[in-house]
Copies of this chain bind each other. A is one copy, B any other.
Amino acid sequence: MPDLELFFNPKSIAVVGASRTPGKIGYSILENLKITFKGKLYPINPQATEILGLNAYPSVLSVPEPIDLAVIATPAETVKNIVIECIKKKIKAAIIISSGFSEIGEKERELELKNISKGKIRIIGPNCVGIYQKGMDMLFFPRERLKRPADGFISHITQSGAVGSTLLDVIASEGVGIAKFVSIGNKVDVDEIELLDFLEKDVATRAIALYIETINRGKEFVDITKRVVKKKPIVVLKAGKTSKGQEAVLSHTGALAGPAEIYSAAFRQAGIIEAKNTEEMFDYSKALANQPPLADNRIAIVTDGGGYGILATDAAIQTGLELPQLSDSTIKTLKSFLPPHAIAKNPVDLTGDATTERYQQTLEAVFKDKNVSGVVIICLMQVPTITDGIIDVLRDCKMYGKPFVVCATGGSWVQERARKLEGWGVPVYDMPERAVKAMAALRDYGQILKRK
C-alpha cells in the first residue's frame, strides 16, 4: 500500500457527488477545491456534463486520465459501489465525507466499507470534513462564513469535523496558520496513529494538535507518539472524560471511550501534553509550533500594567514556573534608563507611561540575563506612548533564542496588531493566564525532550 502521501499531494482529484446547486455540500467541496487546488479536478455526477466550468463525468470509470484521490460526498447507501468503482479505476486514496455509518448505528454498512477497501484503497473517513492545507481546501463550509487560516506550522488531526472546522475559523481570525488539517471521522482505515507517523516526517508541521474521542489502538498510539514527540510536540484534547461524556461519545461515534485516567496516564507516558479544554489546545499549539522549548522553570515577566504583572505572577507560580531574581548587572542596566517609578525587578513593571523604546531596552537586558530562560511579555498597546514599532520590537525578540509569549488584552486595535505578530510567529494571548499557561506548555515540552 502507498503511504498517505497521495492524500496530501495528489495530482488529480475526483469529487464524487459534485453538485450544480450552490449551498449543497457537493457544490461547496468542488468550489473550494477549484479555488485552491492546482492539479486536475474531475466533478463526478451522472446528471451533469459540466459543473463550475469543469467537465463532469458520470462515474470515476469514465474519466480518461488517472485519478490520485477521490473525495466522496454522496448518500451513505451509494458509497460502497462508488468505492468499488474507485478500486476498479485504480484510485489509491479516497476521502469519504458522507455520514450515515456507525455514528448513527449503521455498523454493518461501515464494516462492509472496511472489508471491500482493505488492501485495495486507503480511506479517510467516513463522516468527516476531509483535508485542509495550502493548495487543498475541501471544507464544505462557505468561505464567507468560515474563514480559512493562512499557511503555518500547526497540524491538526480531529475526530470531530465540527469542532475542528470552527476552531480553524477561530485561529484564522487570530492570524494563526495551519500546516495540515485532517478530519478523520469514523476512521474506518486511516487513523490518528498513522497520521502522527506521517506528520513526523512532514517538513511543514512543527506541532500537532489532536482532538480525539476514542483511541482504538492504545499500544501503537503510545509507541508511535513516544517517538514523534522527540521531534515534534503533540497537544491532545480528549473528549469524553466523564462517564456522562463517554455516553455522549457512544452516541456520537458509536465507539466506546475508556476512563479519563487511563487516557491521561497514557498521554503522560507517551510525552504528550494534555489540554484540559478547547482553548488550551490551540493556546499551547501555537506556542509550541513557533517557539523553542523552555529549558527550565525560570521565566521573567515584563509588563506595563502592574495588575497584569500580579495576575501573570500568580498564574506562573500556580503552573510551577519560577520568577528568579534578575542578576545584579541586569538590574543595574534597567535602572540606568528606567524612570524611578518603574519596578526594576521580576516581574518588571515599566508602568503606564512605558514607551516602545523602554520595552526594547528592557527586553534586551532581561532576555540576556543568564537567570532567565524565557519571557512572558505583557503589553498594553492602547496607550499612546506605545507606537507600532512595538511589533518590530516583539518580533525581534526571536534573536535572543529564548522562548517568549505575549499578552495583549483588548479589542480591534490590539487584535489587529496581535494578528501581525502571529504572522511573525509570535504567540499572542488576550489574557495573562493564557499566556503564562502557554509558557508552561513550552516548559513541559522541554522536560519531555530531556527524558531518556
Contacts and interface: CB of A to CB of B under 8 A. Distances in A.
Contact of A307 (B172, B211, B352, B430): B211
A382 to B, nearest CB: 4
Residue from A172, A252, A323 whose CB has the most chain B CB atoms within 10 Å = A252
A159 interface: yes
Interface in A201-247: 211, 213, 237, 239-245, 247
Copies of the polypeptide in the assembly: 2
Interface in A241-278: 241-245, 247-249, 251-253, 277-278
Contact of A310 (B172, B240, B380): B240
Given A211-B307, A213-B307, A411-B147, A239 B314 contact: yes
Contacts of A169: 382, 409-411, 413-414
Contacts of A352: 99, 161-162
A45 interface: no
A261 to B, nearest CB: 14
A313 interface: yes
Interface stretch (A65-73, A341-349, A389-397): A341-349
A439 to B, nearest CB: 15
Given A413-B144, A433-B278, A242 B313 contact: yes
A267 to B, nearest CB: 16
A25 to B, nearest CB: 9
Nearest to A166: B409
Interface residues of A, number: 83
A411 B313 contact: no
Interface string A100-120: 100110000000000000000
A152 to B, nearest CB: 15
Contact of A162 (B249, B306, B384, B412): B306
Interface of A: 23, 99-100, 103-104, 141-142, 144-147, 158-163, 165-167, 169-170, 172-173, 211, 213, 237, 239-245, 247-249, 251-253, 277-279, 304-311, 313-318, 323, 340-341, 343, 345, 347, 349, 351-352, 380-384, 409-415, 430-434
Given A213-B310, A251-B306, A277-B431, 5 more contacts: A163-B307, A173-B410, A242-B318, A277-B311, A277-B433
